[in-house]
Structure 1
């Protein structure tokens, strides 16, 4: 409820309600016109951070001044017992006067955080909900002397930004894009699936590569370096029904934003935060500010920036109209009901309300920006990759790069990371590839591998972090016949194996059809058994196959590969449609190119060769004869030389009743349990046993 501003000659003025002496004038009487604040003049104030009824100021020499209400020690002074709890004039916080270079402050109603230049965090004030982060609320309900916040880990955590939420919560962002949170969690706005308060900082395990945290009441937004927005906490759906998202979830927002700001509207019918997006329309770069409302919908405004621009030591107020709480929303635009005229005084900083957006401090270079020598083909010990992951083994390599099995150093989870080495001086390709991986990040489905994040090191090393799967369809096909007791591919399979093979083929068709049906459409362009992965975590969906490497083929051509790849390598050419082998023309790839690949893979799944009729003839006197005849026709059509004659995956699925069986056919003398028992104890076959038993039991 106050305004503080600094003139170019370093004079500080204030006006407003002045609750608890929060203007620093030595009294608590409301001030209707700007009044000079002597204790703040010529202090080289860098910024003011306002709590509800107290204020912190950061000076140019990194000292911290504080004044106003002190009922919980939020001014870093012991609350007076039996007397006044207000300090009406600014005073320096003694704790920060020696050897602590403060780069950022943040405060809430009655607690505060400070960030030092070496990445340490200190907290003080109200701790009844654990918001200071010291872990003890019974004996330390309030903390008057700043205490260092400990981020429990086996090595030092360096913080680059801090955020206090107005509902007694705190957040810290690490230099490599991870988020810790603690304090009140009654609506799960901390991002942890626990109902009670979090007394010590805990890492939010399912978000990574974050550039900005935006706490907003009982809801929190997280902006990634790719421009994606995650959210958690209390929100509404489009029917205005309250919902709670317990852990961060990728929003349906279609825009890729550059920044999120805590400019908050108090309009009772439509609270919102603001987000900035950079557009490139007809080669004219421009910015557009959007509102994000409670239902996570975005509304475009007519503004191009957040009305402030950063300079070396000051913020210049633009004379254009600014968002006010008296504005209303009409026709998806902000309509201004009052215009603020250009200030008569040359102002270098304005704090328009008690809780402004916490601006980022002096930024340290994040780990992902450190460069690797071009001559050094090994992972740099100073890279984001090595600082964040423990490399366990090489999973495989191919034209699209090398895949590593890694363990995350923070959450101990297993991931797969693909490293793609690009040629030097391919900036345009890098941009296209990074944009393509952004699209992959947005595909959240049971049909595809979950991509987590991606980053570029040294302009020629692209890392893509994704869900780890221990096996692929290649492994299943190698194990399937032995597990079912079929000693040779030329021997006919029994109905149980055919049933399982049909399920595998159906799942593959559904995965590819999903890519072809999304918008914008995705053509895989590189399907083969090794990039069709098997996940054991299929209890909910009953699906085990997922596609990986989708989208990469939309960017790469032969000249960009290292090592070179043209689709003519023996192992890969088997699955490539004839119209695209050796071609760098992206227009030659269509959904029918993927259909050809699926048709070839289908022949491996069922152990038949459409060029050799003997592979089907062995079924003439079996109960599967008619199914194999239909299957022969389907696979022949899918691998037709002319793409026009190939069916879509959806058509093959629609006719699956002709080539599949709904249940295995019991046969005298065939004991499935006895056959499976022969290989049940062999580790190499455990994964396919789970698949077989799940499918047959269901």
Structure 2
């Protein structure tokens, strides 16, 4: 198996909940696995010349069943390895798996074997269930809490953004006795052998089951009941299995006990099952041979097994009529079943307290044997649909019949009756291809013209519950109601630090947004900057004027982000990058830098709060966001660190000698320290925007240094002229006013549209 599979199994093998500490034996075994992983990677790194794996992750670490040469851990997937011939050399950017990729690899900078160490740090977190942003108190009452604390420190060191600060594999191995439990602590336990046998048995049982089933599953069906989820699946050799909550025997196993491991449903095996449909506590199965089997609870006779009781019924074939007609479609409501035969006849059985069976003129408690439902012979029924206590039949030309419960006008009929006992044709519906009903309303959709109709209860444009008796066409404005509300919300977020969405309007099925005009993004400015100031390469230091202007840009970026973070409650941008920082042509309120693309912002209402995983752009994403852990405004600060690097053409992993001969070399060193601290893997160790701004005089040049230059005005005019000339040369096309049809933007955020 892979280490990824082992990690999934490990907690279950040792009967541990994910928030609980490991027991002595699990911790010891996990340390031994880590030791062997480190030895594998050390082997590559100590070759001559050293080799970088570049895709270390639990998927690429395999565990052998038989111990060979005293080892059971091996590395695989060596397709991305590269030889490191120099101490620090340029290698391919973005190689590996993003979650385990070192920052220097993501950004395409020089990197070495320490890139693998970063991946090991991320692997240790998963192996030991560590979150470096959480407390270390998990093992505070354990005899080996000091060992865990040492391992915690190693994990932080291994995931440092500066590769020079990461340890080597050899250094971590040398500290083995400080973070690992000695084997005698485990083996001296009087119950050691008994525990070991129990673990081996449970491991074998857990290991065998998932691997076998996953490889052999052909199709599966998942449904839930009030106690939990259930699953039925068919294997490639046509065996049918079930597992889950099994309330009232819904899995058809003949009992109502929870099923934690797959049990074969003998009566359905080798029957060529192609479709499962569930009601409340019962299942109906359609086979390739057009037969229908039913099982589970038969309280209202919905199984068609000729009785109504609460026994836990095993699967039996439903005989529709004396002709043994074959079944082409089947559907289930809460406690009733509809079947469609291959000669287009519809039969119903089960609960009928709302007339949902549709075969009689009056309601009754239940119908235990299939009864034929009458339709006008001019209509050919194509499919049947049950929802709770309502029923629908779709004709070959896309017309719809409905009957059953109508308490919220969900049947789409011109009737206020609470129940309809016989199928009635819904007027003015044609070309319908699918029906969905529930929560008091029904949607009818057509694949031919992409139209959607609604009847029953729904929220109108004033966010008030309304009742629609007959199907109403959903106009684009209604379909995009949430989309428009999002734009409206964004137009209300106004500040000098943000690109403001001033207003929006609809015209000719298009949406237009009036926004602040900005002349370029910071990304474009960074591309132009070196050319404007005649700087030949990133290795060449900036002159006084460029460094000063760059510091001013950074200051305004920090002020923009600080504005979001100091709102009450604080707001996290979650996608800070040079593309989303715009520069205005006209300075207003003494400012020219603004943030845009607010489509991913989120409110941070609690000190420790979970947010969506993996939001933003991978290059600029903080580790806690990438790994789906709790995060706060410091996630934005991590993004700022890489913006600073690009803005100043610097790499914190390189030497600080770039400005050694300049008067402001100490300012540059302070800036490197700021970058270093904003990149810390533990978010509590990162500064806030306010703290960085407070240190402004330590990392920025004073304006007088620039303005006191006797050639200042002449240089400034030259720069302005060159900037204008380069901008014109780099302009792809004239600015345009874009309008987007609503129908093409339903799943797109408002800010994406605005941008």
Is the strand fraction higher in 1 or 2?
1
Give the TM-score band, short-chain normalised.
0.3 to 0.5
Is the helix fraction higher in 1 or 2?
2
TM-score with structure 2 setting the length: 0.33
TM-score with structure 1 setting the length: 0.35
